[in-house]
Structure 1
């Protein structure tokens, strides 16, 4: 799964979960400032990403995530560490 595919999956999840416009979700979009996600939204996102990847996501990894690209990179790294 390449980064573009990961981004597309994350974008789809965010549109469904948070009723966001796909056009508002870009790599440099800030999760908390631009998309107004909160900590509960972040937990929901992690749960869906775990389902998508079939991997357990370490919460420590997601504490430093600020942008959509950070999420893509974290998932990419998780999948490479199989």
Structure 2
């Protein structure tokens, strides 16, 4: 899957499911600060990511993600590893 498609899907569900202001989403923004999600929201996010991309993100994955760019890259890498 192309990175642009990953970014579009992620941004879409962040805006629609988690009510994140689309103007605040950019590749260098701090993920945790911008999203302001609680632990239940992260569980919902894991479910949505799995439904959209067929990959699971765990706690260790989220701990390594600082920016939105990290978030996109993690999903991109999980998809690539799944397909290889």
Note whether the superposition's TM-score is higher than 0.5: yes
- Of structures 1 and 2, the one with the larger relative CO (CA 8 A, separation 6+) is 1
**Aligned equivalents of 2:41 and 2:72: distance in 1?**
17
1:50 equivalent to 2:54? Answer: no
Corresponding residue for residue 66 of structure 1: 66
Q: How far does the alpha carbon of each residue in 1:38-69 deviate from its partner, in whole angstroms, 9 at most, with x for none?
A: 33222221211111111233332222112211
Aligned position for 1:27: 27
When normalised by structure 2's length, the TM-score is 0.81
SS in 2 for 1:27: coil
Give the alignment's TM-score, normalised by structure 1. 0.83
| SS at 2:28 equivalent | coil
Q: Which has the higher helix share?
A: 2
Which structure 2 segments of 5+ residues have no match?
Answer: none
Deviation for aligned residue 1:7: 0.8
How many Å apart are 1:21 and its aligned residue? 2.1
